[in-house]
Copies of this chain bind each other. A is one copy, B any other.
Amino acid sequence: MYSRELLKGILKPIILKLLSEHDKMYGYEIVQHVKEKTEGKVLIKEGSLYPTLHSLTKEGYLTTESVLVGNRTRKYYSLTKEGTGLVVPALNELIDFQATLGLLFGKEKPAVS
């Protein structure tokens, strides 16, 4: 059975994948990136993102680095060694999940004739 986490949330895998490709990103950047990549179809809300980033950090998968740009603070997040180790399993599980969705919702039998 798929983990409850996977069935409920794709936010952590998204963050892990992005950080595996980008070395370091800050919250607002993640939101914009996902928005563009998904053609505006996935809009991560601050209320979802920041708690998730904090929890991943607390769990030891991310480290932070605050940078002052002008007078505005930017908090960069990057993968720890542990976080890096999490990327591939998380993606594999998601990919497998997609395939399973295919089994369930594949086109062998059309929903409506």
A binding-site residues for B, Cβ under 8 Å: 1-2, 7-10, 13-14, 17, 20-21, 34, 37-39, 41-43, 84, 87-88, 91, 94-96, 98, 100-105, 109, 111-112
Q: Could you tell me the distance between the alpha carbons of A24 and B81 in the complex, rounded to whole angstroms?
A: 51
- Asked whether, in the complex, the Cβ of A87 is within 8 Å of the Cβ of B104, the reply is no
- Asked whether, in the complex, the Cβ of B14 is within 8 Å of the Cβ of A112, the reply is no
A77 to chain B, nearest CB (A): 17
- Asked whether, in the complex, the Cβ of B8 is within 8 Å of the Cβ of A8, the reply is yes
Nearest neighbor of A112 in chain B, beta-carbon distance? B88
Q: Could you tell me the distance between the alpha carbons of A59 and B88 in the complex, rounded to whole angstroms?
A: 41
Q: Could you tell me the distance between the alpha carbons of A103 and B42 in the complex, rounded to whole angstroms?
A: 11
Picked from B7, B42, B43, the residue with its CB within 8 Å of the CB of A10 is B7
- Asked whether, in the complex, the Cβ of A34 is within 8 Å of the Cβ of B112, the reply is no
